[in-house]
Amino acid sequence: MNQHAIAALRPRRAKILATVGPASRSPEMLRRLFLAGVDTFRLNFSHGSHDDHRAAFDAIRALEAEFDQPIGILQDLQGPKIRIGQLAGGPIPLTAGDMLTLTLDGADGTIPLPHPEIFDAVQPGHQLLIDDGRIRLEAVAHDAGSITARVVAGGRLQDRKGVNLPDTVVDLPALTAKDRDDLEFGMSLGVDWVALSFVQRPEDLELAKALIQGRAGLIAKIEKPSALLTLPQIVAGSDGIMIARGDLGVEIPPEEVPGRQKEIIRLCRQMDRPVIVATQMLESMTGTPTPTRAEASDVATAIYDGADAVMLSAETASGQYPAEAVDMMDRIIRRTEAHPFYAASLKATAPDAHDPHQAIAEAAVELAGAIAAPALVAFSSTGASGLRIASHRAPRPTVLLTADLAVARRMALVWGIRPLLDADVTDHDSVPIMAEAAIAQLGIGQSGQSIVVVCGFPFGVAGTTNSLRVTPLGQTERETA
């Protein structure tokens, strides 16, 4: 198998999403990361300039051309981050039991919190968590311009530290002015996915969808407790979900995060949406060449749960061992997927076939298992049939053939899917020929085996997946001999 085929057919089904940053922005390192196992790259617009992101984008697209393999690029918008303002007298030591006052401008020795929408929304008893929850306050009283709070857990309060409000639904814009500017830039580049931060309600997705206009998939980041209240509607309104455990783990009790992770992944599988598990997966590898055993277990748990992708953040963006972190994540995924418990855990949470399209996807997976097919091949103009097959977690590679490069790039994030760009299928006779050629290109299967092929008639019309066939490998060669 040549180098291109190795890149196209990785020996695992869950995908790796890696963040680009100062440690990984060079073309040489991006190439190392791709060869180590990255399927989709994340551009984090909380950091870096537009020029930085453009250079990384161009380098990734050059990799794509070199390996003739679609690579996804995800733009992660910063979102409306709430922060403490500038402290006039420098850092302030806080002790449990202290009373303090937060105001818009920090006048008269108060704590500056320059976000007027918070003063309208917070209520007595609500928590204010500062610096990733290291400092915890409880609101005692409030009015239009001030909040009186009691210190529950103290510490050294510093400028510009983030504030989380787990009990408060704040009327913040879904997209800030910076986000709009960044999104316009991302659309001009041609990113494949856009991740929207701090989604609180389904309506938060509407503006982003209107601006994207179908040019990229929209991923809702679940990091606010309020999002959990309308989770089915948020999943339905998005094209994918990211379980952003950093802020979510601050705003809900840590012991709730694992269960919520399982719930979200299962719901996404039921609704045919790819789901990413993110934050601190191999965090210690920012400074050491190996992870902790707990981190390895964390990655494995996400894979057992059925996540489409697992994400590296600081590990590849600013860590000392970016390529090693990708390689380690790849190894953990492969070992987990090879474990006897893996298939059983996925089957236990398989979605129900709720419509004819889902029934065809489920039948394709079952048929591939019954005949020991080396692969499934799906023809798709939108990627929808690939998403449905992926939700059933077929234990064999699924090759998705599409004539739309944008679709192929987005599918690089989806569990078990190996996207290939090919011409539109035009007639019945072309289906087995193109399917077999794709299998041969990837170097899998051999003459005498059969593959399962899923497609739709009429050809090229979205939403018409209605055909399931078994194609013997080698038959087209014999017919043309």
Last residue of a domain, one of 143, 164, 185: 164
pLDDT digit string (tens) for 277-288? 999 999 999 999
Residue 160, domain member (yes or no): yes
> For strand 163-164 and strand 155-157, is the pairing parallel, antiparallel, or unpaired?
unpaired
| Residues 141, 198 within the same domain | no
Q: Tell me the CB-side half-sphere exposure of residue 470, using CA atoms within 13 A.
A: 15
Instruction: Indicate which residues carry an active-site annotation.
Output: 42, 83, 221, 279
Query: Beta partners for 401?
Result: 379, 420
| Residues 67, 207 within the same domain | yes
Question: Which residue is associated with the tokens 């818009």?
Answer: 104
DSSP state of 461: -
Band of residue 34 on the pLDDT scale cut at 50, 70, 90: very high
Element (H, E) at 112: strand 111-112
Q: For position 478, what pLDDT does the model report? A: 47
Burial call 341-379: b when 16+ CB within 10 Å, e when fewer: ebeeebeeebbeeeeebbebbbebbebbeeeebbbbbbb
Range of the domain at 365: 356-480
Cβ(249)–Cβ(279) under 8 Å?
A: yes
Mean pLDDT of 173-179: 92
State how far the Cα of 112 lies from the Cα of 274, in Å rounded to an integer.
40
Band of residue 480 on the pLDDT scale cut at 50, 70, 90: very low
State how far the Cα of 11 lies from the Cα of 388, in Å rounded to an integer.
21
Last residue of a domain, one of 137, 164, 191: 164
pLDDT digit string (tens) for 310-351? 999 999 999 999 999 999 999 999 999 999 999 999 988 888
- Phi and psi at 309, nearest 5°, equal -150, 150
Residue 427, domain member (yes or no): yes
**pLDDT over 80 (residue 76):** yes
Q: For position 477, what pLDDT does the model report? A: 53
Q: What is the CATH number of the domain that holds 138?
A: 2.40.33.10
Residues in Cβ contact with 261 at an 8 Å cutoff, skipping those fewer than 6 apart: 243, 245, 277, 301, 302, 305
**pLDDT over 80 (residue 457):** no
Residue 68, domain member (yes or no): yes
Residue 32, domain member (yes or no): yes
| Residues 228, 249 within the same domain | yes
Cβ(408)–Cβ(438) under 8 Å?
A: no
Q: Structure pTM?
A: 0.91
| Residues 48, 113 within the same domain | no
| Residues 146, 189 within the same domain | no
Q: What is the CATH number of the domain that holds 407?
A: 3.40.1380.20
Alpha-carbon Rg for the chain in angstroms: 24
Residue 85, domain member (yes or no): no
DSSP-assigned letters across all residues of 16-73: EEEEE-TTT-SHHHHHHHHHHT-SEEEEETTSS-HHHHHHHHHHHHHHHHHHT---EE
Band of residue 91 on the pLDDT scale cut at 50, 70, 90: very high
Residue 131, domain member (yes or no): yes
Mean pLDDT of 441-458: 86
Mean pLDDT of 368-390: 93
| Residues 71, 192 within the same domain | yes
**pLDDT over 90 (residue 155):** yes
Mean pLDDT of 189-204: 96
| Residues 185, 160 within the same domain | no
- Give how many domains the chain has, as a whole number: 3
SS3 236: helix
**pLDDT over 60 (residue 5):** no
Mean pLDDT of 255-283: 96
Q: For position 463, what pLDDT does the model report? A: 63
Mean pLDDT of 248-268: 94
| Residues 250, 316 within the same domain | yes
Band of residue 111 on the pLDDT scale cut at 50, 70, 90: very high
Last residue of a domain, one of 277, 311, 340: 340
**CB-based burial of residue 65 (10 Å sphere; 0-12 exposed, 13-18 middle, 19+ buried)?**
exposed
| Residues 365, 476 within the same domain | yes
| Residues 42, 184 within the same domain | yes
| Residues 75, 98 within the same domain | no
